[in-house]
Amino acid sequence: MLETISEHGCFGGIQGFYRHPSSSIGLPMRFSVYQPPQAKDGPVPVLFYLAGLTCNEETFMIKAGAQRFAADLGIMLVAPDTSPRDTGIDGVADNWDFGTAASFYLDAAQEPWSQYFRMETYIVQELRELVLQNFPARKDSTGIFGHSMGGHGALTLALRHPGIYKSVSAFAPIAAPMLCPWGQKAFSNYLGNDQAKWQRHDASSLMRSKSSAPYPGGILIDQGLADKFLEQQLLPQEFEAACAAVGQPLSLRRHAGYDHGYYFISSYMGDHMKFHRQCLG
């Protein structure tokens, strides 16, 4: 049963926040939806946004300034929470970069995380179907993007499910999590020590495994050069090399003076929205 937490008029459309019991997670989950004014007349393209570490379903809708562009372009926006909440798992909230608000958008294979941390199934299957059933979204016109950990999630879910997502972009994604401390910490706890399992959730490794370009229309990534996480955690050059190896068109734009936060994201949000609108048709 879908519960409406709140709804607000926004640029001629509706900004809403919702909660529902999740069968894949086993706990209540929250998410937000922006319905553009065009949705009053029929189904519109839908774009899922995955937020980064420490964030929730409100972060993007409050900080990114995306609704103005979505209203102009006729795109629905959906932002899930970044992890299950109130799991009761011992130590789940002890670290800001692992556990609560740090799901890495995968289905955990290791106990105790595997009981609740099934975010890939939740986003790709359950939440998508819930949105299609309850909001005027086009099933044949779905894109995905995200920031940092959510950029990792957007790239990996798009590469793992290209039949579902027609477009993908990212802001400062964790592009090679197998090679960085954030990813190694998450993967070892969620997936165990089997490196083959890690490769299936690493965007650079996934891209290298392709025999041809999975997104011939291109992938867009924006990265700030003043980002304090760039050299140790994000490693966009690894994804850039992987795309080049398989002939995947990639626009990796590097911006002097921009850091890791939402001032950066909001500066280029319009470009990403237009990119997705062109791909989604």
What are the structure tokens assigned to 213, written together? 């370009």
Q: Which of 147, 152, 201, 260 is catalytic?
A: 260
Strand ranges (E), the chain: 3-10, 13-21, 28-35, 44-50, 76-80, 137-147, 167-171, 219-224, 250-255
Based on the residue annotation, tell me whether 23 is a catalytic residue of this protein.
no
Q: Which of 22, 24, 148, 204 is catalytic?
A: 148
Based on the residue annotation, tell me whether 201 is a catalytic residue of this protein.
no
Based on the residue annotation, tell me whether 227 is a catalytic residue of this protein.
yes
147 in Cβ contact with 170 (< 8 Å): yes
C-alpha–C-alpha distance, residues 42 and 221, integer Å: 31
SS3 227: coil
Query: Closest by alpha carbon to 157, among 176, 170, 144?
Result: 144
C-alpha–C-alpha distance, residues 91 and 93, integer Å: 6
CA 188 to the chain's CA centroid: 21
Q: Which of 32, 167, 227, 272 is catalytic?
A: 227
**Which residues belong to the active site?**
148, 227, 260
